[in-house]
Amino acid sequence: MLKVPEHQVAGHIAKDGKLGPLVDDQGRFFKPLQGDARGENEAKFYESFSTNKNVPDHIHKYFPVYHGTQLVEASNGSGKLPHLVLEDVVSCYSNPSVMDVKIGSRTWYPDVSEEYFKKCIKKDRATTTVTLGFRVSGFKVFDHQESRFWRAEKKVVLSYKVNGARLALRKFVSSNSPSDDDDSPPNCAFASEVYGGSDGILAQLLELKAWFETQTFYHFNSCSILMVYENESILMKGGGDDEKKKKPVRAQVKLVDFAHVLDGNGVIDHNFLGGLCSFIKFIKDILQS
């Protein structure tokens, strides 16, 4: 039984008769291959990356596990279509907070069509892609006070400038009720647990950065970083007394969206690396403040 992903925050969403990803109850994510070269390119990347022995083992964990391709019933009712079968990154979380951040100071690349170039440059300039080297594409957080999810409005996210991006990264790790209104300052209550620590978001981003400083196999154009965590308390019975214990936040970083990956040809991917360094600085600033 396939269903629409509950925690998708960006990209093509399967609703209102539109084609989009699906998930099953076994931890798999089915992403339809786009009809043009993008779908074929993404499948080729996964085939190449999953078998590339030059990629260190500790880097593979930052990419969804690839299970090949499969024909499944499309979300828009158009019949069976080829889908990438990937790891469903959030399947092991109960109430995951999720953020999608597109990395790079440009999302276009050499030899694209004039139409695609104009589309990309317009969006890059209107968002923080050019100014910061990254842009928030979407996010949702679990509101502990209301016991429900809150999702940032897409039009609000697309309007973010520098301060908006910083505010979003603070809201993502806050326990007070989030909103699109800037009047209630986020408390960043979970920042040290989610962003900090030896296995937090920052540590993972720094590990990725170290690889991007040397890797010349791929250029990751228009690729996103997905950040996921869970922070909730549960009651555990021990020794006859109720004792409040915290579940681990399990902060996790994954790279996603590889339809525009190109061969690195022995050259460092400065576009992605530069955006990643900028993003890391924003995370560091939140931790330090």
Pairwise CA distance, residues 100 & 135, whole Å: 9
Contact 260, 41 (CB under 8 A): yes
Tell me the two tokens of residue 146: 């209301």
Q: Where are the alpha helices (DSSP H) in 70-197?
A: 114-126, 129-132, 154-158, 162-171, 191-194
Report the CATH architecture of 96-288. Answer: 2-Layer Sandwich (3.30)
Question: pLDDT by residue (tens digit) across 161-182?
Answer: 999 999 999 999 998 877 766 6
Percent of the chain whose predicted confidence (pLDDT) is above 90 = 64
What is the value of pTM for the model shown? 0.89
Return the residue matching tokens 């978001």: 201
Tell me the two tokens of residue 177: 């009720």
Tell me the two tokens of residue 212: 């991007």
Question: pLDDT by residue (tens digit) across 71-96?
Answer: 998 888 788 999 999 999 999 998 99
User: Which residues are CB-contacts of 70 (< 8 A; sequence separation ≥ 6)?
Assistant: 30, 82, 83, 85
- As annotated, the residues of the chain forming the CATH 3.30.470.160 domain(s) are 96-288
Handedness of CA 281, 282, 288, 289 (dihedral sign): positive
Tell me the two tokens of residue 53: 């022995």
